[in-house]
Amino acid sequence: MITFKICAFQLGLATGVYGAFSIFGTFFGGHVLYRVGRLKYAIAVACWHLGTFLCSNFWQPHPNNTWVVYLLGAFIGFGFGIKSNMLEGLTAHYFRGTEGVAFTLKSCIMNLGIVAGTAWSTSLCVYVKIYILIGFLLFSLVCFFIAEKLFLKQKERLTSI
């Protein structure tokens, strides 16, 4: 019973660290996004997440280094905060006039990701899940570059008319 209380406290603390640093990432991301541009920002966010995924993958848990859980929670939370700014801004920017549908669809896709992550949580090893996340990260970065190029082409075509 005592072990459960300690684990529940540590889980709550790790979640709190994640949430607090997500707030910091949101504030930081809001100030930086418009200064550096979407492409540089997307590359920086992808590198940030890639670094945290690789660190999570190669870290060997041990009772003497449990502080790394909180450090990784801070880094992942900060990365989520800076990524969420970009996603919200891109959704609003790309889908002007149809924001309601776009935000609903974005929310559905994110919830499907949560369902998939929960569904495979007991059947896959942690390192396999991390490699899958790295694959999705790289795939989403390629999709972002394609979407950005198409959006700029369309914007150029509309301004030349």
- Among the four given CATH numbers 2.60.120.380, 2.40.160.40, 1.20.1250.20, 3.40.30.10, the one describing domain 2-160: 1.20.1250.20
The span from the CA of 35 to the CA of 106, in Å, is 25
The gap from C-alpha 117 to its chain's centroid, in whole angstroms, comes to: 14
Region 45-66: mean pLDDT is: 88
What is the structure's pLDDT at 1?
A: 47
Rg (CA), the chain: 18
pLDDT band (50, 70, 90) for residue 7: low
Region 85-100: mean pLDDT is: 85
Q: Which of 34 and 161 is assigned the larger pLDDT? A: 34
The tokens describing 26, both together, are 């949101």
pLDDT tens for 101-154 read: 988 988 898 899 889 888 887 888 888 888 998 999 999 999 999 999 998 898
pLDDT band (50, 70, 90) for residue 161: low
The span from the CA of 122 to the CA of 103, in Å, is 30
Asked if the model's pLDDT at residue 5 lies above 70, the reply is: no
In the chain, where the domains are located: 2-160
What is the structure's pLDDT at 74?
A: 93
pLDDT tens for 11-48 read: 788 888 999 999 999 988 888 887 888 889 899 999 99
Residue with tokens 């090893």: 125
Q: Are 44 and 36 in contact (CB under 8 A)?
A: yes
Instruction: Give 12-19's long-range contacts (Cβ < 8 A, gap of 24+).
Output: 13/70, 14/69, 14/70, 14/73, 15/73, 17/70, 17/73, 17/74, 17/77, 18/73, 18/74, 18/76, 18/77, 18/80, 19/77
Asked if the model's pLDDT at residue 2 lies above 60, the reply is: no
Q: Which of 52 and 120 is assigned the larger pLDDT? A: 52
